[in-house]
Amino acid sequence: MTGKRVSYTLDSTLESVNTVEQIADKLAKDSGFEDEERHKITMAVREASVNAVLHGNAYDPSKKLTVGFDTTGDALVISIADQGRGLDPATLPDPLAPENLLKQSGRGIFLIRTFMDEVRFRILDPGTEITLIKHRGHAAEGKEGSK
């Protein structure tokens, strides 16, 4: 599947997170990603969606989750936006720092960056958009372009 874009506006619920994860898995499969890469994509999408619903929108029923999926010849591009107060990724604590190792949260962005080839943040008014990019055939290559 190449050159296709689909987008959704969903409620800020865990049911929406599940829906986004299922769509990501189907599009990754249809785009030719192997099982291991599909698992990484869906895990990253789930983390980003949970962050948007929980931290961004705080489960506020008046706020929405906007998700876009673009398939190109060599990549799957997923954008997830919330309508919350915004997030500056530079202010996030390092989850690998000794003082953070036992904390119950704070690893989502780290996992997203680990599983995807590129991760970009954009501050919206209101909210934050995170864009996740996974290139086909780059599983063994180093991470490039992570921000």
142 inside domain: no
Asked if residue 113 is part of any domain, the answer here is yes
| Angle at which helices 14-30 and 35-50 cross, to 10° | 150
pLDDT at 4: 86
Q: Which residues, including other chains, have CB under 8 Å from residue 55's CB and lie 6 or more apart?
A: 84, 87
Q: Model's pTM, two decimal places?
A: 0.84
Q: What CATH number did the domain enclosing 10 receive?
A: 3.30.565.10
100 contact partners, CB below 8 Å, separation of at least 6: 93, 94, 106
User: Is 146 a member of any domain?
Assistant: no
- pLDDT computed for residue 145 by the predictor: 44
The structural domain count of the chain equals 1
145 in a structural domain: no
Tell me the mean pLDDT per 10 residues along the chain, length 147: 84 97 96 95 97 93 97 93 82 66 70 95 94 80 43
- Structural Rg of the chain based on CA atoms: 15
Where does 26-88 show beta strands of DSSP type E?
A: 64-71, 75-81
d(CA 105, CA 99): 13
Residue span of the structural domain in which 9 resides: 4-135
Q: What is the pLDDT of residues 83-118, one digit of tens each?
A: 998 766 666 666 566 676 666 666 788 899 999 999
